[in-house]
Amino acid sequence: MLAGYLRKKSVALAKCQANDLEVPADADFVLEGYVDPNEAPAMEGPFGDHTGYYTLPEPYPKFHIERIAARRDAIYPSTIVGIPPMEDFYMGTASVRIFLPVIKLTFPEIVDIALPAAGAFHNLVVVAIRKQFPHHAMKVMHGLWGMGQMMFTKMIVVVDEDVNVHDAQEVLFRLCANIDPQRDLVFSKGPADVLDHATSVLGVGSKLGIDATHKLPGEVNTRPWPPIIKMDETVQRRVDELLHDVRH
């Protein structure tokens, strides 16, 4: 479906040589074989992965190859892994840009999303929203954790719509300024990337949601919420004029 969406036309399929499954007709390589569910798994690893760490040995099912087919002058597609940022960061960034309009169909309050490079694709997600009601950020967090591979996201930081989610300094400023840890941190639990070595159990881990938005009256019961410092537009224009005169 993704390939068809990117190509703006359906992907042609062809029947495999040794079974009735269909594969993309223009695939460079096709490996045909089987996995026996009754066979004991084999240890796989260690090998370098996109997390920036060596994946520890784990038992995985065996794939028995019966046939390999290749196009004439086939190209073997591969990717390089290592400490971020690597190729998957740019692939993830492209995926967000492509699917952000689709995400907004479900969450119209979302303004923008960023997957910082240090998060190794999905460990950290920063979301800017048009906040409309108390605890709106919590609604967005849990909604995103329920969307496809977003379930693997370990940390979601929600900020206001005026924040540039691609500016780490701006995000960190709001993160440090706008949270009371006990009130604004949400812990959950769910599926985790099997390559995540930090979880206590393979494939299952905890999640952290951080509400770094400005708080509404229903969220802060004892103190008023202050406005962010903003230079008066008249002063801003005058400063710009003076700096222009100095430069010229």
The β-bridge partners of 186 are 209
Catalytic residue among 20, 49, 73, 88: 49
Question: Rounded to whole angstroms, how far apart are CA atoms 124 and 181?
Answer: 18
Q: What burial letters (b/e) apply to 6-39, b meaning 16+ CB within 10 Å? A: eeeeebeeeeeeeeeeebeeebeebebeeeeeee
Question: Rounded to whole angstroms, how far apart are CA atoms 231 and 43?
Answer: 61
The token pair at 26 is 């223009």
Give the CA distances from residue 177 to residues 19, 20, 111, 226, in Å, rounded to whole numbers and listed in that order: 60, 59, 21, 11
By the 10 Å C-beta count (0-12 exposed, 13-18 middle, 19+ buried), 142 is classed as middle
Give the CA distances from residue 176 to residues 32, 45, 157, 230, 232, in Å, rounded to whole numbers and listed in that order: 52, 39, 12, 18, 24
- Nearest of 96, 162, 157, 95 to residue 124 by alpha carbon: 157
Residue 49 among the catalytic residues: yes
Q: Which residues are catalytic?
A: 49
